[in-house]
C-alpha cells in the first residue's frame, strides 16, 4: 500500500429506507459486511481518508467499519463531517452514545455549521462531502431524498461513484468521470 491519501466520502440511507430495502431479517449485518469489503478494497487502492456525515443508519454503520480499520491501519483516518451543532440532540440515548463513541474514535471532526439545525444544513454537509472526495461510496437504490441528491451532485461534479444496492448488497454501478 502506498497511502497516497485518497479520500472516500460516504452517503447512505437512514434507518427507515434501509429497512424498506432489505430483503432479509439480517440486512444490517449483511450491509456492514459489504461495507467492510468495500473499505478493505479502497484501502488496498490507497485510500486513507474516509469521510462520513454521521447520520443514523448507513452512515453510522460505515463510520463503525472505518473505525475498525483505523485501529488496524494507523494511516487510515475517519473524518466525521457533522452538519450542525447538536445533530444528535433528538436521538435516543443508545443512538447518542454510539454517535459520541464514533466521534471520539474519529481522527478529525469537521463541523460544517457552528449553528443548531437549520433547513439546508444537511445539503451543505452533503456537498462538502462530495467536494472534498476522490470517490463517493453510496448505499442507494434510487429512492428520492438526500442520498439521491448527493449522488446526483457527485455526477454533476464528475466524481467517481460506487453504489451499493442495499436490497442485493452488490456494487451495481461504477460512475467515473462523466461515464457510466
* pLDDT value of position 23: 63
Strand ranges (E), the chain: 6-12, 47-52, 77-82, 108-111, 135-139, 160-165, 170-175
Tell me the HSE value of 121 on the side-chain side, using a 13 A CA sphere.
18
CB of 13 closer than 8 Å to CB of 53: no
Alpha-carbon gap, residue 153 to 1, rounded angstroms = 30
Cβ–Cβ under 8 Å, residues 112 and 121: yes
The secondary element (H helix, E strand) that includes residue 128 is helix 121-131
DSSP 77-124: EEEEEE-SBTTTTTS-HHHHHHHHHHHHH-SEEEES-SSB--TTHHHH
pLDDT of residue 139: 95
- Which portions of the chain are predicted below pLDDT 50? 1-2, 178-180
* pLDDT score at 16: 85
Cell numbers representing residue 40 in the block: 478493505
CA distance 19 to 166: 9
Contact 168, 145 (CB under 8 A): no
pLDDT of residue 166: 87
Amino acid 61: pLDDT:
95
Burial of 142 (0-12, 13-18, 19+ CB in 10 A): exposed
| Residue-level pLDDT at 175 | 55
- Read off the pTM: 0.91
CA–CA distance, 57 with 165 (Å, rounded to integer): 15
Amino acid at each position: 500500500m502506498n497511502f497516497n491519501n485518497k479520500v472516500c466520502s460516504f452517503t447512505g440511507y437512514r434507518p427507515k429506507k434501509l429497512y424498506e430495502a432489505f430483503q432479509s431479517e439480517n440486512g444490517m449485518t449483511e450491509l456492514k459486511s459489504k461495507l467492510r469489503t468495500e473499505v478493505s478494497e479502497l484501502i488496498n487502492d490507497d485510500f486513507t481518508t474516509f469521510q462520513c456525515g454521521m447520520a443514523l443508519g448507513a452512515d453510522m454503520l460505515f463510520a463503525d467499519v472505518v473505525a475498525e480499520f483505523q485501529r488496524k491501519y494507523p494511516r487510515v483516518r475517519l473524518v466525521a463531517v457533522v452538519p450542525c451543532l447538536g445533530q444528535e440532540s433528538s436521538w435516543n440515548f443508545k443512538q447518542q452514545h454510539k454517535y459520541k463513541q464514533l466521534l471520539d474514535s474519529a481522527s478529525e471532526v469537521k463541523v460544517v455549521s457552528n449553528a443548531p439545525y437549520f433547513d439546508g444544513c444537511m445539503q451543505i454537509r452533503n456537498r462538502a462531502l462530495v467536494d472534498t472526495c476522490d470517490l463517493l461510496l453510496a448505499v442507494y437504490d434510487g429512492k428520492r431524498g438526500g442520498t439521491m441528491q448527493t449522488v446526483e451532485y457527485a455526477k454533476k461534479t464528475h466524481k467517481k461513484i460506487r453504489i451499493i444496492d442495499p436490497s442485493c448488497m452488490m456494487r451495481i454501478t461504477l460512475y467515473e468521470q462523466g461515464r457510466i
